[in-house]
Amino acid sequence: MAKETHHRLIILGSGPAGYTAAIYAGRANLKPILIQGMQPGGQLTTTTEVDNFPGFEHGIQGPELMEKMRAQAERFDATMVYDTIVATDLKTRPMRLTADSGDLYTCDALIIATGASARWLGLESEQKLKGFGVSACATCDGFFFRGQEIAVVGGGNTAAEEAIFLTHFASKVYLVHRRDQLRAEKVMQDKVRDNPKIVPVWDSVIEEILGEPGQGGVSGIRVKNVKTGQSSELPLTGVFIAIGHSPNTAIFGDQLETIDGGYLVTRPDSTATAIPGVFAAGDVQDRHYRQAVTAAGTGCMAALEAERFLAE
Protein backbone atom coordinates (compact mmCIF):
# COMPACT_ATOMS: atom_id res chain seq x y z
CA MET A 1 0.00 0.00 0.00
CA ALA A 2 1.35 3.43 -0.99
CA LYS A 3 2.47 5.63 1.87
CA GLU A 4 3.49 9.25 2.44
CA THR A 5 6.55 10.20 4.49
CA HIS A 6 8.23 13.52 5.26
CA HIS A 7 11.98 14.14 5.61
CA ARG A 8 14.10 17.22 6.22
CA LEU A 9 16.48 16.30 3.39
CA ILE A 10 16.12 13.96 0.43
CA ILE A 11 18.94 13.08 -1.94
CA LEU A 12 18.10 11.81 -5.42
CA GLY A 13 20.79 9.66 -7.02
CA SER A 14 23.34 7.17 -5.79
CA GLY A 15 26.55 7.94 -7.65
CA PRO A 16 29.61 9.63 -6.09
CA ALA A 17 27.73 12.95 -5.71
CA GLY A 18 24.71 11.42 -4.01
CA TYR A 19 26.67 9.16 -1.67
CA THR A 20 29.08 11.95 -0.69
CA ALA A 21 26.16 14.28 0.01
CA ALA A 22 24.65 11.53 2.18
CA ILE A 23 27.90 11.12 4.13
CA TYR A 24 28.14 14.82 4.91
CA ALA A 25 24.42 15.22 5.62
CA GLY A 26 24.48 12.18 7.87
CA ARG A 27 27.44 13.56 9.83
CA ALA A 28 25.43 16.77 10.26
CA ASN A 29 22.68 14.70 11.90
CA LEU A 30 20.18 15.53 9.16
CA LYS A 31 19.20 11.84 8.84
CA PRO A 32 18.88 12.08 5.05
CA ILE A 33 17.20 9.51 2.88
CA LEU A 34 18.79 8.70 -0.45
CA ILE A 35 16.52 7.45 -3.22
CA GLN A 36 18.79 5.33 -5.37
CA GLY A 37 17.03 5.37 -8.72
CA MET A 38 17.12 2.84 -11.53
CA GLN A 39 20.89 2.24 -11.35
CA PRO A 40 22.10 2.11 -7.73
CA GLY A 41 25.70 3.24 -7.71
CA GLY A 42 25.41 5.22 -10.94
CA GLN A 43 27.67 4.99 -13.98
CA LEU A 44 30.64 3.65 -12.03
CA THR A 45 28.85 0.35 -11.54
CA THR A 46 29.41 -0.28 -15.27
CA THR A 47 33.14 0.53 -15.00
CA THR A 48 35.75 -2.08 -14.22
CA GLU A 49 39.04 -0.56 -13.02
CA VAL A 50 38.95 2.95 -11.50
CA ASP A 51 42.53 4.18 -11.34
CA ASN A 52 42.04 7.92 -10.80
CA PHE A 53 40.04 8.15 -7.57
CA PRO A 54 42.30 9.35 -4.72
CA GLY A 55 43.13 6.92 -1.94
CA PHE A 56 43.41 3.70 -3.97
CA GLU A 57 47.03 3.42 -5.09
CA HIS A 58 46.41 0.15 -6.91
CA GLY A 59 43.02 1.15 -8.33
CA ILE A 60 39.61 -0.19 -7.39
CA GLN A 61 36.69 -1.76 -9.23
CA GLY A 62 33.86 0.71 -9.91
CA PRO A 63 31.14 -1.35 -8.18
CA GLU A 64 33.39 -1.86 -5.14
CA LEU A 65 34.05 1.87 -4.84
CA MET A 66 30.32 2.59 -4.93
CA GLU A 67 29.65 -0.10 -2.33
CA LYS A 68 32.24 1.46 -0.01
CA MET A 69 30.64 4.89 -0.42
CA ARG A 70 27.18 3.48 0.28
CA ALA A 71 28.36 1.69 3.41
CA GLN A 72 30.08 4.84 4.66
CA ALA A 73 26.89 6.86 4.18
CA GLU A 74 24.87 4.24 6.05
CA ARG A 75 27.38 4.37 8.90
CA PHE A 76 26.23 7.97 9.45
CA ASP A 77 22.52 7.08 9.50
CA ALA A 78 21.72 7.84 5.88
CA THR A 79 18.80 5.66 4.78
CA MET A 80 18.91 4.01 1.33
CA VAL A 81 15.61 3.67 -0.50
CA TYR A 82 15.37 1.34 -3.50
CA ASP A 83 12.88 3.32 -5.54
CA THR A 84 12.72 5.69 -8.51
CA ILE A 85 11.12 9.13 -8.57
CA VAL A 86 8.85 9.65 -11.57
CA ALA A 87 7.28 13.06 -10.84
CA THR A 88 8.15 16.13 -8.76
CA ASP A 89 6.53 19.32 -7.51
CA LEU A 90 9.30 21.63 -6.32
CA LYS A 91 7.20 24.78 -6.06
CA THR A 92 5.13 23.63 -3.08
CA ARG A 93 6.27 23.57 0.53
CA PRO A 94 7.13 20.95 1.48
CA MET A 95 8.32 19.71 -1.90
CA ARG A 96 6.59 16.58 -3.21
CA LEU A 97 8.23 13.61 -4.92
CA THR A 98 6.18 10.77 -6.36
CA ALA A 99 7.88 7.40 -6.69
CA ASP A 100 7.40 4.58 -9.16
CA SER A 101 6.18 2.46 -6.24
CA GLY A 102 3.33 4.93 -5.67
CA ASP A 103 4.85 6.25 -2.44
CA LEU A 104 4.89 10.00 -1.88
CA TYR A 105 7.92 11.65 -0.30
CA THR A 106 7.91 15.23 0.95
CA CYS A 107 10.94 17.23 2.07
CA ASP A 108 12.18 20.64 3.16
CA ALA A 109 15.42 20.45 1.16
CA LEU A 110 16.39 18.43 -1.89
CA ILE A 111 19.76 17.48 -3.39
CA ILE A 112 19.55 16.40 -7.01
CA ALA A 113 22.37 14.04 -7.95
CA THR A 114 20.67 12.07 -10.71
CA GLY A 115 23.70 12.21 -13.00
CA ALA A 116 23.91 12.09 -16.77
CA SER A 117 23.72 9.10 -19.06
CA ALA A 118 26.18 8.64 -21.90
CA ARG A 119 24.58 8.39 -25.31
CA TRP A 120 25.38 5.07 -26.94
CA LEU A 121 25.23 3.78 -30.49
CA GLY A 122 22.58 1.20 -29.62
CA LEU A 123 24.50 -1.82 -30.90
CA GLU A 124 24.12 -5.20 -29.22
CA SER A 125 27.89 -5.73 -29.47
CA GLU A 126 28.45 -2.35 -27.80
CA GLN A 127 26.36 -3.35 -24.78
CA LYS A 128 28.11 -6.73 -24.59
CA LEU A 129 31.60 -5.18 -24.55
CA LYS A 130 31.01 -2.26 -22.17
CA GLY A 131 33.85 -2.36 -19.70
CA PHE A 132 35.77 -4.79 -21.93
CA GLY A 133 37.24 -2.23 -24.31
CA VAL A 134 34.14 -0.10 -24.89
CA SER A 135 33.99 3.11 -22.88
CA ALA A 136 32.34 6.53 -22.86
CA CYS A 137 35.08 8.23 -20.80
CA ALA A 138 38.55 8.80 -22.24
CA THR A 139 39.79 10.45 -19.05
CA CYS A 140 38.69 7.43 -17.01
CA ASP A 141 39.99 4.65 -19.23
CA GLY A 142 42.55 6.05 -21.68
CA PHE A 143 45.47 4.99 -19.48
CA PHE A 144 44.66 1.32 -20.07
CA PHE A 145 45.34 1.59 -23.81
CA ARG A 146 49.01 2.56 -23.81
CA GLY A 147 50.65 1.71 -27.13
CA GLN A 148 47.43 0.31 -28.60
CA GLU A 149 45.25 1.24 -31.58
CA ILE A 150 41.79 2.48 -30.64
CA ALA A 151 38.79 4.32 -32.11
CA VAL A 152 36.73 7.34 -31.08
CA VAL A 153 33.20 7.70 -32.45
CA GLY A 154 31.72 11.18 -32.94
CA GLY A 155 32.23 14.49 -34.69
CA GLY A 156 31.69 17.24 -32.13
CA ASN A 157 33.98 18.98 -29.65
CA THR A 158 33.79 16.05 -27.23
CA ALA A 159 34.96 13.56 -29.85
CA ALA A 160 37.77 15.84 -30.99
CA GLU A 161 38.92 16.52 -27.43
CA GLU A 162 38.84 12.84 -26.49
CA ALA A 163 40.71 11.80 -29.64
CA ILE A 164 43.45 14.33 -28.90
CA PHE A 165 43.61 13.29 -25.25
CA LEU A 166 43.87 9.61 -26.17
CA THR A 167 46.91 10.24 -28.38
CA HIS A 168 48.88 10.63 -25.14
CA PHE A 169 48.41 6.88 -24.63
CA ALA A 170 47.43 5.15 -27.85
CA SER A 171 49.70 4.53 -30.83
CA LYS A 172 46.88 5.34 -33.26
CA VAL A 173 43.39 6.81 -32.85
CA TYR A 174 40.80 6.25 -35.57
CA LEU A 175 38.17 9.01 -35.48
CA VAL A 176 34.97 7.56 -36.95
CA HIS A 177 32.40 10.12 -38.12
CA ARG A 178 29.32 9.76 -40.31
CA ARG A 179 30.07 12.99 -42.21
CA ASP A 180 33.07 14.16 -44.25
CA GLN A 181 34.08 16.84 -41.74
CA LEU A 182 33.83 17.41 -38.00
CA ARG A 183 31.18 19.54 -36.31
CA ALA A 184 33.74 20.61 -33.73
CA GLU A 185 34.99 24.19 -33.45
CA LYS A 186 37.58 25.25 -36.04
CA VAL A 187 40.43 25.27 -33.55
CA MET A 188 39.61 21.68 -32.53
CA GLN A 189 39.39 20.60 -36.17
CA ASP A 190 42.85 22.05 -36.78
CA LYS A 191 44.29 20.19 -33.78
CA VAL A 192 42.81 16.92 -35.01
CA ARG A 193 44.12 17.47 -38.53
CA ASP A 194 47.62 18.34 -37.31
CA ASN A 195 47.94 15.34 -34.97
CA PRO A 196 49.76 12.52 -36.80
CA LYS A 197 48.31 9.86 -34.48
CA ILE A 198 44.70 10.64 -35.43
CA VAL A 199 43.34 8.92 -38.55
CA PRO A 200 39.88 10.18 -39.62
CA VAL A 201 37.44 7.60 -40.97
CA TRP A 202 34.99 9.85 -42.80
CA ASP A 203 31.44 9.12 -43.97
CA SER A 204 31.35 6.01 -41.81
CA VAL A 205 29.34 4.37 -39.05
CA ILE A 206 30.14 1.37 -36.88
CA GLU A 207 28.09 -1.69 -37.81
CA GLU A 208 29.54 -3.96 -35.14
CA ILE A 209 32.19 -3.95 -32.44
CA LEU A 210 34.15 -7.18 -32.69
CA GLY A 211 35.40 -9.30 -29.79
CA GLU A 212 34.23 -11.25 -26.74
CA PRO A 213 34.26 -10.17 -23.05
CA GLY A 214 35.97 -13.37 -21.90
CA GLN A 215 38.48 -13.51 -24.73
CA GLY A 216 40.42 -10.29 -24.49
CA GLY A 217 37.54 -7.89 -25.09
CA VAL A 218 37.43 -5.67 -28.17
CA SER A 219 39.41 -6.95 -31.14
CA GLY A 220 38.19 -4.57 -33.85
CA ILE A 221 35.27 -2.78 -35.48
CA ARG A 222 33.35 -3.24 -38.70
CA VAL A 223 32.56 0.12 -40.30
CA LYS A 224 30.26 0.95 -43.18
CA ASN A 225 30.77 3.85 -45.57
CA VAL A 226 27.40 5.61 -45.72
CA LYS A 227 28.06 6.88 -49.27
CA THR A 228 29.34 3.72 -50.94
CA GLY A 229 27.71 1.12 -48.68
CA GLN A 230 31.02 -0.74 -48.49
CA SER A 231 32.00 -2.37 -45.19
CA SER A 232 35.51 -2.92 -43.85
CA GLU A 233 37.16 -4.04 -40.61
CA LEU A 234 39.73 -2.23 -38.49
CA PRO A 235 41.73 -4.24 -35.93
CA LEU A 236 41.95 -2.38 -32.61
CA THR A 237 41.51 -2.93 -28.88
CA GLY A 238 39.35 -0.05 -27.65
CA VAL A 239 36.31 1.97 -28.71
CA PHE A 240 35.38 5.28 -27.09
CA ILE A 241 31.86 6.53 -27.73
CA ALA A 242 31.87 10.35 -27.74
CA ILE A 243 28.45 11.36 -29.02
CA GLY A 244 27.40 13.26 -25.91
CA HIS A 245 25.62 12.82 -22.58
CA SER A 246 22.00 13.35 -21.54
CA PRO A 247 21.45 14.74 -18.02
CA ASN A 248 18.79 12.81 -16.10
CA THR A 249 16.47 15.76 -15.51
CA ALA A 250 13.23 14.82 -17.27
CA ILE A 251 11.35 14.35 -13.98
CA PHE A 252 11.73 18.05 -13.16
CA GLY A 253 10.06 19.28 -16.35
CA ASP A 254 10.49 23.04 -16.71
CA GLN A 255 10.62 23.76 -12.99
CA LEU A 256 14.41 24.27 -13.03
CA GLU A 257 16.57 26.25 -15.43
CA THR A 258 18.71 24.10 -17.73
CA ILE A 259 21.46 24.63 -20.29
CA ASP A 260 23.10 22.66 -23.09
CA GLY A 261 20.49 19.97 -23.46
CA GLY A 262 19.33 19.61 -19.88
CA TYR A 263 22.18 20.32 -17.45
CA LEU A 264 20.84 22.05 -14.34
CA VAL A 265 21.95 25.64 -13.79
CA THR A 266 23.41 26.49 -10.39
CA ARG A 267 24.65 29.76 -8.95
CA PRO A 268 28.38 30.54 -9.40
CA ASP A 269 30.55 28.78 -6.79
CA SER A 270 27.46 27.05 -5.43
CA THR A 271 25.20 24.06 -5.97
CA ALA A 272 22.05 26.11 -5.30
CA THR A 273 19.44 26.28 -8.04
CA ALA A 274 16.93 29.11 -8.51
CA ILE A 275 14.45 27.32 -6.21
CA PRO A 276 15.30 27.82 -2.52
CA GLY A 277 16.21 24.55 -0.88
CA VAL A 278 16.95 22.72 -4.13
CA PHE A 279 20.60 21.90 -4.83
CA ALA A 280 22.23 20.08 -7.75
CA ALA A 281 25.49 18.12 -7.63
CA GLY A 282 27.54 15.89 -9.90
CA ASP A 283 27.08 15.18 -13.59
CA VAL A 284 23.52 16.50 -13.61
CA GLN A 285 24.99 20.02 -13.46
CA ASP A 286 28.59 19.46 -14.57
CA ARG A 287 28.85 19.56 -18.34
CA HIS A 288 32.63 20.04 -18.38
CA TYR A 289 34.46 17.45 -16.24
CA ARG A 290 32.09 14.54 -15.52
CA GLN A 291 34.55 12.83 -13.15
CA ALA A 292 33.81 10.81 -10.01
CA VAL A 293 36.08 12.99 -7.90
CA THR A 294 34.49 16.27 -9.05
CA ALA A 295 31.03 14.78 -8.52
CA ALA A 296 32.00 13.83 -4.97
CA GLY A 297 33.26 17.37 -4.38
CA THR A 298 29.99 18.97 -5.44
CA GLY A 299 28.10 16.39 -3.37
CA CYS A 300 30.00 17.70 -0.34
CA MET A 301 29.16 21.29 -1.32
CA ALA A 302 25.46 20.48 -1.74
CA ALA A 303 25.23 18.84 1.69
CA LEU A 304 26.93 21.77 3.39
CA GLU A 305 24.66 24.24 1.62
CA ALA A 306 21.56 22.18 2.42
CA GLU A 307 22.60 22.10 6.09
CA ARG A 308 22.89 25.90 6.14
CA PHE A 309 19.56 26.28 4.39
CA LEU A 310 17.77 24.05 6.90
CA ALA A 311 19.42 25.80 9.84
CA GLU A 312 18.11 29.13 8.60
Active site residues: 137, 140-141
Structural contact between residues 303 and 108, judged by C-beta atoms closer than 8 angstroms: no
Structural contact between residues 182 and 188, judged by C-beta atoms closer than 8 angstroms: yes
Element (H, E) at 279: strand 278-280
Closest CA to 185 of 218, 215, 158: 158
Compute the distance between CA of residue 157 and CA of residue 161 in angstroms, rounded to an integer.
Answer: 6
Q: What is the largest CA-CA distance in the chain?
A: 66
Structural contact between residues 133 and 217, judged by C-beta atoms closer than 8 angstroms: yes
Compute the distance between CA of residue 287 and CA of residue 59 in angstroms, rounded to an integer.
Answer: 25
Secondary structure class of 232 (helix, strand, coil): strand
Region for 218 from its dihedrals, namely left if φ exceeds 0, alpha if ψ lies in -120 to 50, beta otherwise: beta
Cβ neighbors of 218 (< 8 A, separation 6 or more) are 129, 132, 133, 134, 209, 210, 211, 236, 237, 238, 239
